[in-house]
Amino acid sequence: MRDRGFRTIVAVLVGLAVIYFGVTGHRSNGGQGGLSGGVVLLALLAALLVWWLLKPGAAK
């Protein structure tokens, strides 16, 4: 059960990092800034990928 908490925390942090860098990237290019649907979708996909990659292996 401890692995699930770690996976959750890391997945949330990755999602937040994608959102942060997606929003700051828009501002640095002279855009209005703000959160677009594409950035949210990318953050969700990144979080799900991290969640899947960190799943524990089969016990031997």
Per-residue confidence (pLDDT) for residue 59, from 0 to 100: 58
Contacts of 13 (CB under 8 A, 6+ apart): none
Exposure b/e, 28-44, CB count within 10 A at least 16 = b: eeeeeeeeeeebeebbe
Residue 58 DSSP class: P
Q: What is the pLDDT of residues 2-59, one digit of tens each?
A: 677 899 999 999 999 999 998 887 655 566 667 888 889 999 999 999 999 988 876 5
Whole-model pTM: value is 0.77
Per-residue confidence (pLDDT) for residue 13, from 0 to 100: 96
